[in-house]
């Protein structure tokens, strides 16, 4: 197994250092009990304690500093107390680096049945076996503590867009009350942080009230929730532009559930530090590759006799050492290696994009690097 978790007394304090800015783009480092996170950062999603189709060491080799896990899924299977009994999620999945866990509210609304939201919390039926469960701000943090996650998220309510203003206001104000309860319930072991989540839909006044309320309570970092829920990209960017400046510059900013490479590039440009999305892993299992020159659908017959790798210049073996013809064959036949290789390609591409942006901000060349990346995407895969 991996090295034993750092004893609480040795763990460094949770922190964020801002090293450089270029316009509104930021380059920083988050410090946690399980190590440092270079920002801007992309978190591969490991919902059930695994980044699907990859070994943890492969994920690490792509440059990922932190993974995302889900309270909702892990509380149902295998159960938070069971994971704690196995030494916590880091040891359970053999990932000795930082882990962030989502709080479960969003997943309940998108997956569970018979959901009921009250002031106390949310009750729901498991989408797995119909069993009944309750999540409150306090229980969500208890679960995240049992999992041992380094960055814990408050329980919140995310409304789908478009929504009417009263609905967005109600959910935002409930989330703020749950934020205060989360702060009171959070026993942050050394090196562990609690993030508040800004809500307010696409209404800039509600977003400003939510941000101000969270800053008043005080968190180790601030997430922008309620986005990537069906709104156009320009609406998401407008909300980020209205919200980011209202958040403390010396705390990480995390845009939840985002997104495509284009969304991430625009988010970094507007001052976002952390991202997560199922896109690279899910797309890999469906035969879709992300490359420097855009997306390549390996199901397409045009690849059947193409001897070229996806990207001969990549340092990811999956993008460099196999032909498109072979990848096409694996995808068409539904072979497991197809999902494994394309997941590896995609996670490695997302990490190479983040690494390129971190260097661009450090060297004051963000605008020209952004333009070159967008030109390469426009050129397309030839
Ligand atoms: N606690 C919490 N609060 C949110 O407001 C939230 C908002 C979110 N918005 C997304 N969007 C996910 C979009 N994703 C794009 C690729 C296909 C599957 C869905 N994930 C989210 C997760 C979230 N978690």
For ligand 1, pick from 174, 227, 256, 286 the residue to mutate: most ligand atoms within 8 Å of CB: 256
Atom of ligand 1 at shortest range from CA of 158:
5
Residue numbers annotated as active site: 102, 276
Residue nearest to ligand 1 atom 4, measured at CA: 225
At 275-290, the pLDDT tens digits run: 999 999 999 999 999 9
pLDDT at 245 exceeding the cut of 60? yes
In percent, how much of the chain has pLDDT > 90? 96
Which of 68, 31, 20, 66 minimizes the C-alpha distance to 249?
20
Ligand 1 site, residue 25, Cβ cutoff 6 A: no
pLDDT at 170 exceeding the cut of 90? yes
Mean pLDDT of 297-301: 98
Is 28 in contact with 114 (CB distance < 8 Å)?
A: no
Ligand 1 site, residue 107, Cβ cutoff 6 A: no
Residue 224's pLDDT band, with cuts at 50, 70 and 90, is very high
* Alpha carbon of 319 to ligand 1 centroid (Å): 28
For ligand 1, pick from 178, 257, 258 the residue to mutate: most ligand atoms within 8 Å of CB: 257
Ligand 1 site, residue 135, Cβ cutoff 6 A: no
C-alpha to C-alpha distance for 145 and 139, rounded to whole angstroms: 10
Phi, psi of 308, deg, nearest 5: -75, 150
Ligand 1 site, residue 226, Cβ cutoff 6 A: yes
Ligand 1 site, residue 228, Cβ cutoff 6 A: yes
At 31-79, the pLDDT tens digits run: 999 999 999 999 999 999 999 999 999 999 999 999 999 999 999 999 9
Both tokens assigned to 150: 């380094």
Residue 382's pLDDT band, with cuts at 50, 70 and 90, is confident
Ligand 1 site, residue 197, Cβ cutoff 6 A: yes
Angle formed at CA 204 by CA 41 and CA 101, multiple of 5 degrees: 35
C-alpha to C-alpha distance for 162 and 88, rounded to whole angstroms: 39
User: What ipTM is given for this predicted complex?
Assistant: 0.99
């Amino acid at each position: 197994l991996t090295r034993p978790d750092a004893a609480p007394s040795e763990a460094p304090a949770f922190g964020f250092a801002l090293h450089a800015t270029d316009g509104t783009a930021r380059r920083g480092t988050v410090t946690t009990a399980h190590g440092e996170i270079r920002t801007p950062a992309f978190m591969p999603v490991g919902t059930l304690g695994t980044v699907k189709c990859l070994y943890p060491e492969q994920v690490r080799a792509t440059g990922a500093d932190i993974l995302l896990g889900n309270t909702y899924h892990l509380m149902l299977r295998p159960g938070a107390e069971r994971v704690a009994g196995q030494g916590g999620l880091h040891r359970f999945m053999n990932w000795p680096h930082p882990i962030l866990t989502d709080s479960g509210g969003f997943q309940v609304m998108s997956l569970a049945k018979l959901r009921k939201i009250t002031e106390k919390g949310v009750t729901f039926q498991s989408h797995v076996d119909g069993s009944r469960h309750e999540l409150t701000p306090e229980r969500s943090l208890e679960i995240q503590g049992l999992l041992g996650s380094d960055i814990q998220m408050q329980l919140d309510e995310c409304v789908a867009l478009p929504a009417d203003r009263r609905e967005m206001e109600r959910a935002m104000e409930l989330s703020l009350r749950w934020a205060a309860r989360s702060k009171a319930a959070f026993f942050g072991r050394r090196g562990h942080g609690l993030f508040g989540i800004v809500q307010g839909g696409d209404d800039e006044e509600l977003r400003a009230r939510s941000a101000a309320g969270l800053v008043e309570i005080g968190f180790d970092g601030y997430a922008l929730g309620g986005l990537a829920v069906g709104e156009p990209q320009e609406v998401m960017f407008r909300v980020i532009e209205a919200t980011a400046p209202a958040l403390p510059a010396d705390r990480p900013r995390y845009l939840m559930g985002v997104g495509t490479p284009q969304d991430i590039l625009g988010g970094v440009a507007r001052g976002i530090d952390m991202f997560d999305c199922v896109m690279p892993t899910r797309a890999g299992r469906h035969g879709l590759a992300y490359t420097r020159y855009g997306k390549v659908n390996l199901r397409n017959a045009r690849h059947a006799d193409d001897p070229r790798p996806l990207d001969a210049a990549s340092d990811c073996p999956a993008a460099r050492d196999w032909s498109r013809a072979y990848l096409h064959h694996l995808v068409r036949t539904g072979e497991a290696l197809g999902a494994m290789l394309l997941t590896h390609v995609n996670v490695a591409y997302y990490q190479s994009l983040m690494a390129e942006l971190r260097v661009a901000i450090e060297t004051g060349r963000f605008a020209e690097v952004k333009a070159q990346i967008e030109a390469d995407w426009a050129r397309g895969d030839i």
